[in-house]
Amino acid sequence: MNIGFDGSYAILKNNTTEGNYSKTVVDSIAECYPRHRIFVYTPSVNNRSTATSLAVQPNVTIKQPRHSLSKTLWLHWKGMVKELQRHHIDVYHGLCGRLPLRIGACRSRSVVTIHGLSYVKYAQDYKWWSRTKQKFFATRACGDADAIVATSQIVKDDLTELMGVDPGRVHVIYPAVDKRFFTRMVEAELDAVSDKYKLPKHYILVISSMLEHKNVLAVLRALKQMRNQDTQLVMVGSPTRYYAKVLRPYIDSNNLSQRVLHISRVHANDMASIYRLADVLVAPSRYEGFGLTVIEAQACDVPVITTTGTAQQEAAGDAALFFEPDDVPALVAHLDHVLDDEPLREQLIEAGRRNIERFTDQQLANNLDTLYHQLLR
């Protein structure tokens, strides 16, 4: 089978959720099904290490536009259709909510992955152009695709309720944990990352976009109310207008500056160490398309606290402590408990190890391969 993938996020934005997912999908299919020929399409390559790692497998080929003037529209317009025909692609998979706008003009079967509809449910958190663009591409792709992959049941329900998609066309296929999160680091490696980012010895970890619906403010409020007022918080995520207008002023006005470390950018290869050095991960969002940080933390043997009624709860299974997004006292109680109770920590860590067995490369590859063959039949 010849499979085409949109590799723009995997190569150009590999430290995002969509980029991480894209790279994991390509790696999983390439390794588990070496008989398939895989073509990864990207407008450009500005991160040579990522492109090289994707192309390590002998059945993976990185493809870029032959004419520089066409780079911007290449992935979305007829340039891509010509490429799919030229390479005799059987199935093309848009990994980040997009398909070429003229995908119906070629013989390839098409699949699109939808990671969530936060830009619809929490439109106020996104700039007009950003949410309009995302909704346009997702709506068009869902209409054109032969099959739709949802990263959680929550996303499938949202596609049905908010976009009117036939649920029979939507397949829930969970992402996998990237292999780097299973790697055991020696102490020297952990110390190097700790020094690089000036991490405290003990800390609560939050990895999140700094948007209102991500609910990071709840963690800051909990930090102020905890029994141990020496506990520190490490927040990883790009600063936003909401961070500047709400989160930073809250930190300053509540004398939390010495207890909060905000890291705006982390190299992808350092993330596993940052997880492993943490005492606990809090995933406080009101909405996610999946709980990738939840399962990454569990793979790194870190206890998890997350919110109910979200895809994060779906990902965590029974291997986390849960609180309703607005219930700050419950979050405070969970933090005090997990930081002080070593048997509870070990119980959560062991449950996490069992839970992540649901999210392996092999399972992801098998589920996608089955879907691709169903489309071809």
Instruction: Give the DSSP letter string of 138-173.
Output: HHHHHHH-SEEEESSHHHHHHHHHHH---GGGEEE-
> Containing H/E element for 296?
helix 292-299
Residue 301 in tokens: 């043997």
What tokens appear for 122 in the block? Answer: 């929490």
pLDDT value of position 335:
97
| CA distance linking residue 279 with residue 300, whole number of Å | 11
Query: Could you tell me which of 140, 127, 3, 134 has the C-alpha nearest to residue 63?
Result: 3
Q: Which helix (H) or strand (E) holds 347?
A: helix 342-355
Question: Residue 17: what pLDDT?
Answer: 82
Contacts of 136 (CB under 8 A, 6+ apart): none
Specify the pLDDT at position 318. Answer: 95
Largest CA distance in the chain: 64
Task: Sketch out the chain's domains with CATH numbers.
Answer: 2-176+360-376 (3.40.50.2000), 179-357 (3.40.50.2000)
- CA gap 175, 315 in Å, rounded: 10
pLDDT given at position 16: 77
User: What are the Cα distances from residue 125, in Å, to 211, 213, 340, 355?
Assistant: 6, 7, 36, 32
Average pLDDT per block of 10 residues along the chain, 377 residues long: 88 75 92 94 69 74 70 62 90 93 87 96 92 92 96 97 95 94 89 96 96 97 93 94 96 96 91 96 97 96 97 96 97 96 96 96 97 94
Enumerate residues 6+ apart whose C-beta is below 8 A from 56: none
Residue that is written with structure tokens 């963690």 in the block: 219
Sequence length of the chain is 377
Q: Is 281 in a helix, a strand, or coil? A: strand
End-to-end CA distance of the chain: 12
Q: Which residues contact 129 (CB under 8 A, 6 or more apart)?
A: none
Instruction: Give me the helix-helix angle, 128-144 and 153-163, nearest 10°.
Output: 90
